[in-house]
Each structure stands twice: as C-alpha cells, then as structure tokens.
Copies of this chain bind each other. A is one copy, B any other.
Amino acid sequence: MKIQNVSLEEMGRAAKEAAYVLATAPTAQKNKALSVIAEELEIHAALILEANEKDLKTAREQGLSASMLDRLMLNGERLAGIVADVRNVITLSDPVGAETHSRVLENGMALCRRREPIGVIGVIYEARPNVTIDIASLCLKTGNASILRGGKETFHSNMALVKIIQIALEKSGLPAASVQYINNPDREWVSHLLRLDEHIDMIIPRGGAGLHKMCKENSTIPVIIGGFGISHIYVDKTADLERALDLIMNAKVQRPSACNALDTLLVHQDIAEALLGKLAPRLNEGKVKVLAEAPLLPYLSSVNTLEKAQEGDFDTEWLALTLGIACVADVHEALAHMRLHNASHSDAILTHDLRAAETFINGARSAVVYVNASTRFTDGAQFGLGAEVAVSTQKLHARGPMGLEELTTYKWVGKADYLSRP
C-alpha cells in the first residue's frame, strides 16, 4: 500500500510541474499538440483497436450487458469520430489570458482579472474510452494538467490512448505528465486521489450519483457535483396544449437515458383533463409507462401502462421510458413540489403568462430553467459552449453545462507606477 501511495504522490507532483509549463504555453503550441495527438491516434489506430479488443474479450467473458459492451467498443468509425473531436477542440477559442473587470483605481493602479488555467484536474469516469481523449484534450486546450481514472473495463484501451497522447505531447515539446492515467484498478487509489489536495485543484466525477456522493464525502479537493436531479415540466393553465404535447414527448422519449430527460410532469388542475386526454395516445405511441397521482387516473385511463404513483416515485430519476404525473393548483404549488423533490438540473414551465414565467424562473432552484422549451436543451453544444466537460448542479464555480471557460480560474493583476521610470 505504501509504495502505491508514494507513486500517486509522484504522479501528483509531476502533474503540478507539468501544469506550470502548460500555464504559460502559447495557444499555438497547445493547438499543435492537439494536432499531433489527432495524427498519432490515426497512425496508431490498429494498436488502439487491439487494446480495445482485449477489453472487449474480458468484458464478454465476464458477461457484461450488450449496452455496456457497446459503450466500451471502439471501431474505425468511432475512432475517426474521436479524432474529429480532437480537431474540433483546436478550433475553439482559448480562454486563457483574457482580461475582465479592468479598471483604474483612484490611486492610479490598473486592476483587472486575468483568466488562467486551474492547474491539475483529476477526472474519475466510467466505461467509455472516448471520455479519455475528450477530457485530455479539453484540459490541454485550457492549459491544465490532468490525472485520469477510467473504469477497469476500459483499462487496456485507456492505457493505449494515454500512451499515444504522451508520445504526441513529447513530440510537441510539452511535458508527457500533462496527461497521466492511474493504471492501478484498486479502488483504494481513488480514495487517495481525492485527498491529494496538495497537488490537485479540482475533481470532476463523470458517473452516477454513487460516484458523486463518494467524491463529495471523501474529497479534500473541490468537486464538481452534477449530472443528475429530477427534471420537471410544469404545464400552466395558459399553455398552448398542442405545443405542450410535442415538448413533453420530446423531453421524455428523445433520449430517456439522459440526465436532462423529463422525470415528472406537473399539470395545472384547470387543464389537467384536457391535456392528459390528448397526451394519453402520444404516451402509448412512445411506449411510456405512467405513474400518476390518484385524481389524475381517470383522465389517463386509455394509457396502456398506468399505475398510481407511490411514495418515492417523484424522487426517482427514471433514466427510462417512465413518467410521473402530478396535479398542482398553480405555479407556486409546482415550485413547492419541485423543491420537495430535488429539482436541481433542468426544469421547464410551459405558459403564456409572463408573471407565471418569471415566478417560475426566479423560484426554481435548478441549474437551467426553461420557458416553453424542452429540458433536453441542456447541453454544452446546444448552448454554444463548443464542448461540454460536465453538467454541474452545484452552485459554486460553475452551474449547468461547463465549457472551456469553466476549466479556468482567474487571478487579480494590479499594476502601478509603470510609467514612472526615473
């Protein structure tokens, strides 16, 4: 155990040293490195697919599900997609060095905030090997060193990918330790990683609620919590009902496994009968299972799979074709329901009443709030951020989809007397 801890310390120290170099590397050099990474990935495609085949073989032997195998699997086409993503990061603008809040103080000091890399970022993620390249290139673009820890199922794939990245970094004159991978599958290493606050500045967990909880409870390093929360659509009495049907169905069925997919529909009591009558056939079409409050059941009698909502149903993030439906008296009751049932990610109101819309926007405690739109919009690319590092549901540092700027911090810079050389 002792030896392992020491070498994680060493990784941390090497990452910090690399971060000093990356912090002042010009954009052109970082872009060059990304370009070499893309080339090296193309050159070594066979090697990567071979490593991936080893992971797939083990996964098949261990009887992993077809969907897990699919997430894990790389092929020529997927690798080309990964390479294209790296080249896309080159086109994004580099936030490092931008100055904001510039002012001249009364005493003549010129003061501003200058954007700079955070330093060393630890990322813990699950089975998809594309995340390795994705995170490494976004961190590199923003001048951050990264220490990566993927799922044990992707061990060989990730080791091959990181080795190629390190070769490309050295060819570009940047430290190989700018991107490192924890090659020990022992869970103990994650616990130790979370306490390396001397070397690591931020932890991004990309995975389920369990991983986030573990990080929150054990990390001495700031953690970006996010990616889950119950998503609601509240249909106000002034909503356009035909439009509401399309938005509800989009939010529920387009990609039910996504964290921004609809979990609970809240319906204003005055339009419950009219809306749910029209919605029932659409829910059947979408093969959606419905869990509704007792008073709503008569309006939903034609739904194929219908149950009375039980305790806890409105606290469940379904990640599946299941929809909870509850009835509320007005926007305030909708907000009260949302507070009680952990609305923190993406929530929407459908309304044509300006006061209801503003009440909802200001009263919802969610990272993203919509008026007359689907919760599915929550996405870095949709928001024009160019990339999405994570979706934060916490309130500090960043909230909602995080792009490149959210991988940076700022320092204050004060300059005085610089014209007064005697």
Does A207 belong to the interface (CB within 8 Å)?
no
CA distance A331 to B399 in the complex (A): 38
CA distance A370 to B119 in the complex (A): 20
Number of copies of this chain that the complex holds: 2
Partner of A368, one of B363, B372, B397, B412: B412
Partner of A103, one of B116, B201, B384, B421: B384
Contacts of A421 in B (CB 8 A): 240, 352
Contact A222 B220, beta carbon cutoff 8 Å: no
Question: What's the nearest-Cβ distance from chain B to residue A369, in Å?
Answer: 5
A–B pairs, 6, beta carbons within 8 Å: A119-B365, A201-B395, A369-B412, A369-B414, A370-B415, A372-B416
Contacts of A396 in B (CB 8 A): 118, 201-202, 222, 396-397, 409
Does A189 belong to the interface (CB within 8 Å)?
no
Per the 8 Å Cβ criterion, residues 380-419 of A in contact with B are 382-384, 394-397, 399-401, 409-418
Contact A399 B411, beta carbon cutoff 8 Å: yes
Question: What's the nearest-Cβ distance from chain B to residue A421, in Å?
Answer: 5
Contacts of A420 in B (CB 8 A): 240, 243
Contacts of A399 in B (CB 8 A): 409-412
Does A422 belong to the interface (CB within 8 Å)?
yes
Per the 8 Å Cβ criterion, residues 52-70 of A in contact with B are none
CA distance A417 to B239 in the complex (A): 11
Contacts of A367 in B (CB 8 A): 411-412
Known: A361-B413, A395-B119, A399-B412. A105 touches B382 (CB 8 A): yes
Contact B372 A415, beta carbon cutoff 8 Å: yes
Contacts of A111 in B (CB 8 A): 383-384
Question: What's the nearest-Cβ distance from chain B to residue A108, in Å?
Answer: 10
